[in-house]
Chains A and B, each alone.
Chain A
């Protein structure tokens, strides 16, 4: 029957649109220089979307969901809230952006991509 089929297709289209946006955003982030991986996880640490392999994803998601960052910020000043976290390690930088229900985790390798760095003698 054409009616329900059309509506189904229409529904599909509608549902496709948000996912396209999501993909677009993620791709945009991925295209930045030095980005090693992006993943989206829920508050319990279960990954939803990821550009990296499964074991790494699972590990990062689980570890970041246990972060006490929110409590650190919120308890010292109730009006303050935790908006962004950057962890700089020797090899890369982990960025965590939280939300009510989700986490966005991005891993970047910064030093290689930095264009402005220490002055050196150039002949």
Chain B
């Protein structure tokens, strides 16, 4: 800024008088003051430019005379004046001529301005003082610099501001422009009330502005003509388009309504029908048409033209496995290794619902005397029913305890958690395993199979090794005095469709569950039992004592608590042969309905029934089942088959009748009795396909009966080489049944193949087979459980050929049975005919005899004599031939010749 100002001044100075000097920096007039560095605070310094010529003249050449160490030169004033004279205006010192002329001293200091501090390369110091300062100065700055280095910036030398005159640079113009000034002078008014009204009370009132004139002034808008514009030109774009119409409506949507059409077909009224029916045209029509219709109908009767012969000829192609494979394949076998005593299996039963679960009752293999002998030891060992599962061949899943060896047991058809068993001592034992049902339902194979299934020796086996063996105590036992006195040989649940009362009359069973049992035992009685609590007719104080003394363990369910030890049979039937001989000893019975296979349908029904009751097991609430107002079923067949120990098959009735003389209830006499078997009958079973065909097996032969045919068995096989010890119908093939022998063989009979001998004979084990039970799990899997005398349960798989029936097997078997019935009838008839013939023959014989008797006495004597003589001769000839009599010489010799 300073230099600018200087320049401006110099330029303004220039305007006044210009001299054509081409020095860019300085053009100084003669009368002009030489510039000095006054603005920079050094008024005594006058910068000059020295050309090389001048430098040579004055011996101040740069870098030769004037060095950094001595950057100044003292030049004599006279020399410079002389230079002026020599070179006049060309001299470099010309601008500072005045200074030099006025210079008081002789020598002027000329300093080389290497840094162009003052704008030019040299400067003159115009005053003596300055010269002195400069010459002495270099010492001070050095000192100052040194001083500064030691104490950096500690002391700030305060320079008082030097007031300078305001130099306007044009900013006040802008400020003036921006400032707001009042254009006009303000007018002030002062309004005041009259003095006497000061402080007076004020009265305010409302006033409508429009009512009073001049109360307000409005400035109404009006169209000012000065400002109306008339548009004389308009710029619009236009286009021709087709005419478009847009219309829309809104339909009213009412709520949806159901629309119904009701119609009925057109029909003739009755009279119309009649008139039409009698019209001649109808008769003609029918006459014409009926012929062809009859032909068509009869055609259908004769032959089914649409039948596919090829298809019907072939048997089902979908077979699994080899068709030639007819043997039973061993699948699994179970043996109880925990018990040390020798046991045999007495009864086997598959669990009706759960796959792969089979229950087995074991009994000690001792004869009666041995039992008595070892009775003390036997008491300590529990008698068990074992539950085996396919997944675990070593450990039984459940073990049901009973007071004594069980000889037969059955699952309840309506609730598979209830099991009834018959003991060797005549008691019935009931179990309720509902609490453990989930245990057997979810049998996992992980427990024992994952680890190595190694058979540990007996002494290493702990009682709770892999799985805890569950001992389940029985729920209830029947009363000892009132029940059977001997081993119970057979036990059945009565189906849930009916129930019977003390008289043996059949009633409808409303409760929907099986609640009655029938047992037969070796004490020659058949008893019916009811599991519902019976109302005691007379109070029995003795029972109360029993209840107090016996404590039932807490984990036993109380389903049958009411029965425990107080259970009496509903009715007892004695199979007596008469008053003289021993009674019949029943071994097996077969009622009209038997649950050989737990049908899935029944299960559904049972479940739905249970759900209806409100998820309550009907067996928990048995009292509700008693109702006296049940209606009796009249047409029910109350007869049943019984097999006895002597090999008889009895067909008898369970209905009791009142003896006319004594008034007591008596059992009826059996309807029919046949002795066909040579040994005890151990199987009396109805066929699962035909309700009236019964299979009985005992001793060494088999018999098949038809209910209603009283003349005898339909089929009676010849004696087998080995005794038959168990048997069962096949569940899927109507003509097949399995028989177990005492040497461990199974005979499979197929009545469609051979009826005189078994179709197949296969060895299963080494000892007597005690029980056979087949079971179907699916169409492809059918098993047969074979129990033997040594306590092993074998599970075998039935091959396809034995399990799958052929197309018409049921019909064929039916036909076969019908033929056999006819055969029996024929035999019967023939018997009669034969008898007649026999009678006739006898008559004839007698007639003959009568004729021969009428001969006379003399004739008789003569005949006798002749006979005697011929005899003598005969005797003689024999003796002569033998050589015992000497023949007289001539005569006898001649006679002999």
A interface vs B, CB < 8 Å?
15, 18-19, 21-22, 25-26, 28-29, 32-35, 40, 42, 44-49, 58, 62, 83-84, 86, 88, 93, 95, 97, 99-102, 104, 106, 108, 110-111, 113-123
Contacts and interface: CB of A to CB of B under 8 A. Distances in A.
Nearest to B273: A48
Contact of A119 (B283, B287, B297, B313): B313
A99 B288 contact: yes
Contact of A34 (B265, B286, B287, B300): B300
Contacts of A40: 282, 286
B294 A32 contact: yes
A28 B302 contact: no
A29 B297 contact: yes
Contact of B304 (A26, A28, A117): A117
A44 B266 contact: yes
Given A22-B283, A113-B301, 9 more contacts: A19-B277, A21-B286, A29-B293, A40-B282, A48-B268, A83-B292, A102-B282, A117-B303, A120-B808
A29 B283 CA distance: 14
B273 A49 contact: yes
Nearest to B266: A46
Contacts of A123: 752, 812, 816
A111 B304 contact: yes
Contacts of A122: 812, 815
Nearest to A111: B304
11 contacts: A25-B290, A29-B294, A32-B294, A40-B282, A44-B266, A46-B268, A47-B268, A48-B282, A62-B265, A117-B307, A120-B812
Contacts of A113: 300-301
B884 interface: no
Given A110-B304, A118-B313, A122-B815, A95 B268 contact: no
Nearest to A119: B313
Interface in B278-328: 278-283, 285-290, 292-294, 296-298, 300-304, 306-307, 309, 312-313
Interface string B783-826: 00000000000000000000000111000100110000000000
B806 to A, nearest CB: 8
Contacts of B176: none
B276 interface: yes
A120 B806 CA distance: 11
Contacts of A34: 297, 300-301
A97 B283 contact: no
Contacts of A62: 265
Contacts of B806: 121
Contacts of B296: 84, 86, 95, 106
Contact of B290 (A19, A104, A119, A121): A104
B139 interface: no
Contacts of B808: 120-121
A17 B304 CA distance: 37
B267 interface: yes
Nearest to B268: A46
Contacts of B297: 29, 32-35, 95, 106, 108
A117 B313 CA distance: 11
A8 to B, nearest CB: 15
Interface in B89-110: none
B685 to A, nearest CB: 23
A120 B287 CA distance: 40
Contacts of B279: 18
Contacts of A88: 306
Nearest to A118: B312
A34 to B, nearest CB: 7
B277 A97 contact: no
Given A48-B268, A122-B812, A122-B815, A106 B293 contact: yes
A115 B302 contact: yes
B286 A48 contact: no
A84 B292 contact: yes
A92 to B, nearest CB: 10
Interface of B: 265-268, 273, 276-283, 285-290, 292-294, 296-298, 300-304, 306-307, 309, 312-313, 752, 806-808, 812, 815-816
Contact of A101 (B268, B281, B309, B815): B281
Nearest to B806: A121
Nearest to A95: B296
Contact of A114 (B288, B303, B815): B303
Contacts of A18: 278-280, 282-283
Nearest to B275: A15
A40 B277 CA distance: 9
Nearest to B290: A25
A49 B277 contact: yes
A106 B276 CA distance: 19
A28 B289 CA distance: 13
Contacts of A119: 309, 312-313
Contact of B300 (A28, A58, A100, A110): A110
B290 A28 contact: yes
Contacts of B292: 83-84, 97
Nearest to A62: B265
Nearest to B752: A123
Given A18-B280, A19-B277, A120-B808, A97 B303 contact: no
Contacts of A120: 312, 807-808, 812
A71 B301 CA distance: 30
Nearest to A16: B278
A123 B292 CA distance: 39
Given A29-B293, A101-B281, A108 B807 contact: no
Contacts of A45: 266
Nearest to B306: A88
A94 to B, nearest CB: 11
Contacts of B287: 21, 25
Contact of B289 (A35, A44, A99, A121): A99
Contacts of B268: 46-48
Nearest to A113: B301
A101 B282 CA distance: 9
Interface centre among B267, B273, B286 (most CB of A within 10 A): B286
A106 B286 CA distance: 12
Contacts of B265: 46, 58, 62
Nearest to A42: B276
Contacts of A33: 297, 301
Nearest to A23: B277
Minimum-distance CB pairs A-B, first 6:
A118-B312, A110-B300, A97-B289, A114-B304, A32-B297, A58-B265
B301 A26 contact: no
A22 B286 contact: yes
Given A22-B277, A101-B285, A118-B307, A32 B301 contact: yes
B286 A115 contact: no
A77 to B, nearest CB: 20
Contacts of B301: 32-34, 110, 113-115
A57 B416 CA distance: 50
A104 B292 CA distance: 11
Contacts of B288: 99
Contacts of B266: 44-46
B286 A26 contact: yes
A103 to B, nearest CB: 9
A83 B280 CA distance: 21
B810 to A, nearest CB: 12
B326 to A, nearest CB: 18
